Structure 1
C-alpha cells in the first residue's frame, strides 16, 4: 500500500512538473513580437556567400546589421552557404540556421553544383540567437538514388509527429526524368534524419527548387506554402505531410518564376497582414514584398506595394528567411551585431606601412594587405568579461579572435572556455614607445605584451627599446 502511495505521489509530482513545463513552453511561445530578423546571403563571391543579417521594426524597412558585414562564415564543405533558413524551437529556447552548402565561383560552377554538388546542408545551433556553434554538415541527399545535390533547405515544427519536417530540393533521376524535386525527412536535432522521401513533384520535366511553408492561425487551411516551379505557386493544406490543394500562382499580379525566386513568408507583428518576400533574381534587384491579409486566399488578391513604402537596406538581400523577434531576442541581436560598430586596423609603430593581419589563421604585420578584410578587426569588450579589457574579433571571420598559444598568435574560433577567453583578452595601455600610441598587455600573462618579431605577432616580455617599438601600435578606422 505504501509503495502504491509513493508511486501515486511520484506520478502526481511528474504531472505537475509536466504541466509547469508545458505552461512555460506556451508562455515563451506567446511573448509579444517586437521586431524582425532577416538572414540572407548577398551575392556570388566567397565572402558574399555567407550568413548576413538585417533587422526591421516594421517588417518593411530593413537595416543591415554588423555594418553590412557577414556574421557567420562556413568553414565546412564548400566553405560557402546560400539560402539560409532560421528555425526556432516551439519553446523558443533553441535556434538553428540551416543553409545550402554551395559556393559558386569558389572552385565550382553551376553545372557542377547541379550535377555533382554537395549532398549536405550546413547547420549552426544557438540557445540565444547570438552565440552560435561551429557549423556542421548534415548529409540529406546521400540516400536519394542518383541524388546530385541538396539546395534551399527549410524546416517547420510538426505537432502531429512532435519533431521537425526538414525539406529541400535535390536534382535526381526518377522515372527517367532528371530534375529538381522537393524531398523531406524528419529530425529532432538537425544532426540525424529519417530516410528522405519524395515530398513535392511537378508534372513532366518541370522542376521545383524553392519552397517555404508557414502555419496560418485562421482561415481555410492551417498551412500554406509558396514554391518556385516555373511560377510562384501557392498551396494550402491542413497537414504538413498530407494532401495539398493548389490555390493558384502569382502570374495574375505579374510575377512568374522567370522573374522571382526564393519565396520568404513573414507575418506582421501587428494587424492581420502577411508579406511574401520574393528575390528578383532575373533583374538583380533583390527582394520585394508582396502583401496579403490571408495567405490561403487565391494569390490574384495579393498586392505589390509601392516601392516608396519599403526599403531593403544597403546590401542586396538574396534568398533567406525572416524570424519574428521577441523583445528579449531583439535586444540581444542588436547588442551583438549593431549597425554602426567601428571597424579598425592595427598599425605598427615602427613599420607604419604594415598592419596586423591574419593569413591562413596565422597572424603577422604586412603592407598592402589583400583581401583588405584580413587586416580589419572589431575591438570588442574582453571576452573573459574583465572590466577595461578588449578582444580583437575578425571582420571576415566573425566569432574568430586573436589569441596567443604558446606565446605565438593565431586567429581562432571562440570555444567558450576560460583558457581561450584569457588568451584572447588584453588591456589597452599607453604605448610603450609613445604614449600617443597604444600597447596591449596580456590579461593572463600581465608581464607580456603583443609585439611583432620578424613581422610575426608574438606575446613577449618587453625589456629594451626595440621591444617597446615592436609592441606599440595605433588603432585606425
Structure 2
C-alpha cells in the first residue's frame, strides 16, 4: 500500500512540476526583416498568438559573414550543452551557412561560417538552414536546401530562376568537426524550408513543396524513426489555397501549431491540430510585429524573458 501511495505521490509531483514549468515559460520567435541586412530580431508571446517585439524591434546581432552580410531565416535551439545555437542564411549565393552561440540570447559568440556545400562545384545556394539536437546520439543535425545544377532533372523548370532544391544535412557534436554532407530528403519534388521536431517515438518534418508548375507552394508532413531518416513520402498539403513558406512548429496546450509566412499576402498564418490530420486555421487570432519575416520559435524561462524585456 505504501509503495502505491508513494508512486502516486511521485506521479502527481511530476505532473504539477511539468505544469509549473510550462507556466514559467514563454515563447520566443527569432526572425529577420527586409532582406536580413540588420540581423537577428526577437519577439515574445505567452499564448503563442499575440507577439510583441523585444528591444524596440532593434537587431540583437549584426551579420558579419559573406560578402552579402545577411542574416536570413534565423533558427535558434537550446543545445545539449545548455547554449543557444543559431544557424542562418548568410547570402543568396554562398555555399555555406552561419552559426553562433549564446548563453542568454543577448551576448553572442564570434560568427562561424560553416562551408557545408563548398565541395560541390555546381551548388547554387545554401538556404533556410535549421538545426535539431538529438539527445540519444548527442549530435546536432544541420539541414538546409540547395540547388545543384543538373541534379533531379525530372523536376527542373525554368520558372523561379531555375531553382530545384533538395534537403541536405551534416552532423556535428562540437561545431568543429562535421560529417560529410549528405542528401536528407528527396520527396520527388522541389522542396525547401524543412523543420524537424520529435513527436513521441517519431521525428516529424514539416516541409514546403516548392513546385512551381503546376504551382503547389504549400506545406506537407513526413515522418521518420531516426532523425537522419529515411523520411516517409510527403503527406497531402496541410495549408490552404495560398502560398506558404518558412514553417516553424510548437506544441501549445496539447495542440500542434504550425506557423508560416504567407509571403505573397504579406502576413503570417498559423494552423493548429491535435492529431496532425485535422487542421484549424486560427490566423485571424495572430498578432505579429509589422514587417516580420520567417524564423523559428523556442521556449525560454520567464526569468530569461525578463532580462530580454529589460533591454
Question: Which category of TM-score, normalised to the shorter sequence, fits these structures?
Answer: 0.7 to 0.9
Asked if 1 retains the 8 angstrom alpha-carbon contact of 2:203 and 2:224, the reply is yes
Residue 124 of structure 2 is aligned to residue 142 of structure 1:
no
Q: Distance in 1 between matches of 2:53 and 2:236?
A: 31
Asked if 1 retains the 8 angstrom alpha-carbon contact of 2:80 and 2:135, the reply is no
Q: Distance in 2 between matches of 1:255 and 1:190?
A: 40
Query: Which one has the largest radius of gyration?
Result: 1
Asked if 1 retains the 8 angstrom alpha-carbon contact of 2:131 and 2:143, the reply is yes
* TM-score normalised according to structure 1 size: 0.54
1:121–1:42 CA distance, 2 compared to 1 (3 A): same
In the other structure, the counterpart of 1:393 is: none
In the other structure, the counterpart of 1:273 is: 255
Deviations 1:35-65 (A, max 9, x none): 0111101223733xx2111011111100011
Task: Give the 3-state SS of the residue equivalent to 1:250 in structure 2.
Answer: coil
1:175–1:64 CA distance, 2 compared to 1 (3 A): closer
Task: Give the 3-state SS of the residue equivalent to 1:319 in structure 2.
Answer: coil
In the other structure, the counterpart of 2:295 is: 320
1:176–1:128 CA distance, 2 compared to 1 (3 A): closer
Structure 1: state its 5+ residue gaps.
Answer: 1-26, 103-112, 337-477
1:45–1:161 CA distance, 2 compared to 1 (3 A): closer
Deviations 1:201-239 (A, max 9, x none): 132xx311110001124xxx5211110123311112221
124, 133, 138: which one aligns with 1:162: 138
Question: 1:56-67, aligned counterparts within 5 Å?
Answer: 56-67=45-56
Asked if 2 retains the 8 angstrom alpha-carbon contact of 1:143 and 1:195, the reply is no
Deviation at 1:120? Answer: 1.6
Asked if 2 retains the 8 angstrom alpha-carbon contact of 1:262 and 1:279, the reply is yes
Deviations 1:182-209 (A, max 9, x none): 1011012334421100111132xx3111
Task: Give the 3-state SS of the residue equivalent to 1:248 in structure 2.
Answer: coil
1:191–1:229 CA distance, 2 compared to 1 (3 A): farther
Root-mean-square deviation (CA, aligned residues, Å) is 2.3
The number of residue pairs the alignment matches comes to 276
Asked if 1 retains the 8 angstrom alpha-carbon contact of 2:222 and 2:232, the reply is yes
In the other structure, the counterpart of 1:450 is: none
In the other structure, the counterpart of 2:5 is: none
In the other structure, the counterpart of 1:334 is: 309
Q: Distance in 1 between matches of 2:123 and 2:64?
A: 24
Residue 34 of structure 2 is aligned to residue 43 of structure 1:
yes
Q: Distance in 1 between matches of 2:229 and 2:150?
A: 21
Deviations 1:284-322 (A, max 9, x none): 22x21111123xx33xx1110151x22112x22212001
Deviation at 1:247? Answer: 5.8
Residue 248 of structure 2 is aligned to residue 264 of structure 1:
yes
Q: Distance in 2 between matches of 1:305 and 1:323?
A: 20
Residue 190 of structure 2 is aligned to residue 207 of structure 1:
yes
Deviations 1:443-467 (A, max 9, x none): xxxxxxxxxxxxxxxxxxxxxxxxx
1:160–1:242 CA distance, 2 compared to 1 (3 A): farther
Does 1 or 2 have the higher relative contact order (CA < 8 Å, sep 6+)?
2
In the other structure, the counterpart of 1:193 is: 178
Q: Distance in 2 between matches of 1:173 and 1:166?
A: 22
